[in-house]
Amino acid sequence: MSDRLSALPFDESLQAKLASDPLRPQYHLLPKANWMNDPNGPLFYDGRYHMFFQYNPNGAFWGSMHWAHAISPDLIHWTHEPVAMAPTPNGYDRDGVFSGSAVMDGRTPTMIYTGVLPPATSAEITLDDGNHKWREVQCLATSDDPMLRTWKKLPEPVIAYPPKGMQVTGFRDPTVWLEGDDWYLTLGSGFKGKGGAILLYRSKDLRHWEYVHPLVEGAGNGKASVNPVDNGEMWECPDFFPLGGKHVLLISTMGKVRWKTGTYREHRFTVEKEGVVDWGSYYAAKTQATRDGELILWGWIPETRPEVEYRAAGWAGLMSLPRTLSLGKDGTLEMTVAPAAELLRGEHVAVAPGIARAEKEKQIMDLRIRNLAAEMQVECSGEFQMELVSESGERFAEIVCGKSELRVNEVRGDLDGEGVSLRVFLDGSSLEVCANRRTAITARVYRIPRGDLRVKVRNVEGLRSMDVWAMRAISKDRLTT
């Protein structure tokens, strides 16, 4: 498909509604309107960051998957470009351009992604989630456009079927990397009654692939489920990369992004440690190298409110803030929001360390968060509880750090460490919280407070310091363009 597609379709009558919606984030990446999900093929190319993502041009609901496209000079300020790829009528991606990756093949930007189409026979079905029965194939497209606005698809899939004789529970979401003189590709998959699996392929030219073997396999939770992703019999959205002397595998299954660290040898991955990337509303994570070679992570933040509500709102889903990844000495995956987010900091208020309790309480009482847009950094010892409340005292959000648990409203995640270092990013209905670089919870909060938010701290003696910044919007009208 070499013709340039139109820019993101947008009903101008929605503009005033979206611009005045206090639940709609102001400094995260999201489309002008409608539905978005997985980050796809993030790429730094020709001095710009390119983000592609799953997008439905027809409304704020899942369906008719396209690849939307946005560019940024700094990972934070985004401009929407024309839709990069759409389903080709009667093509191998006629029912959707699903998730995938972008790599540089020499000087040529290249996408490999999953296309879906109706199966010719029941034996061709690789995706059966109770609502759809589709055949999944892996497709390739290249671009010679310096702005990556136009892409040309190969007419045939580069991987048309799963390995012979293999009955899989899924066959999608390729991740690609160069290893020596060979390209390698992983696909999310699994086996019914057993568990998820990552299939490994090898190629010399990105176009002709041979199946090697499973990179790694795992067990499901043993529960009956129509959709194999829900019980762990299918692992989707894999990402595999070296970090800190080890390798890391990310998978999305059973409603969470899960990390596994370990050893990669003879093209097999041995898991040594594992955990959860984010315990909240966060899925389909994808890594990207910055211009300086640092590794960052993107994730889709889905809605948790009923579909009827987000359809009526005219938008659904947003991209997480970029997170910088590192590996702890014990093999634990660590992360924090990338320094680029600091570009948005505005007015700053600090509760200084070492002051008397009465003065500390007064400084906290005087704090205000306006327009549901703020960053907070909190250092505390022992158990800690913080509430964000309206001027009239109505609770907006609660963050609790216990001895072994972080809780954000009703969402809980494992936590270790005597002291706690918190980073909190509030943006409309999105609340991203990271503790000690190891525990993250992204919560959705659909409350609209009356007036500004105040901060309440229950155990002030445990608070060492608190910094609060107002955060600037990346556009004047919440349309992120």
Answer whether 229's CB lies under 8 Å from 253's CB.
Answer: yes
Reported as type and span, the H/E element at residue 105 is: strand 97-105
Answer whether 107's CB lies under 8 Å from 82's CB.
Answer: no
φ, ψ of residue 343 to 5 degrees: the values are -60, -20
Q: Which two tokens stand for residue 29?
A: 């990446």
Which sign does the torsion angle of CA 142, 189, 234, 332 carry? Answer: negative
Active-site annotation holder among 38, 93, 278, 427: 38
Rounded Cα distance, 320 and 36, in Å: 12
Which sign does the torsion angle of CA 39, 43, 44, 45 carry? Answer: negative
Which sign does the torsion angle of CA 299, 304, 309, 311 carry? Answer: positive
Rounded Cα distance, 8 and 56, in Å: 10
DSSP secondary structure letter of residue 9: P
Reported as type and span, the H/E element at residue 249 is: strand 246-253
DSSP secondary structure letter of residue 7: B
**142-146 own/partner pairs: CB under 8 Å, 24+ apart:** 142/105, 142/108, 142/109, 142/110, 142/111, 143/108, 143/109, 143/111, 144/108, 146/46
Which sign does the torsion angle of CA 73, 243, 103, 251 carry? Answer: negative
Task: Give catalytic status of residue 427 as yes or no.
Answer: no
Alpha helices (H) along 206-322: 307-313
Answer whether 389's CB lies under 8 Å from 456's CB.
Answer: yes
DSSP secondary structure letter of residue 369: B
The residues with which 152 forms a beta bridge, in sequence order, are: 142
Rounded Cα distance, 442 and 413, in Å: 11
Give CA torsion, residues 376, 381, 383, 384, to 10 deg: -20
Write the DSSP assignment of 138-176 as a string of letters: EEEEE---TT----EE-SS-SB-SPSTT---S--EEEEE
Name which of 471, 448, 468, 452 is nearest 24 in CA terms: 448
Answer whether 216's CB lies under 8 Å from 197's CB.
Answer: yes
Q: Which two tokens stand for residue 201?
A: 């392929």
For residue 165, count other CB atoms closer than 10 A to its CB: 5
Question: Which residues are annotated as catalytic?
Answer: 38
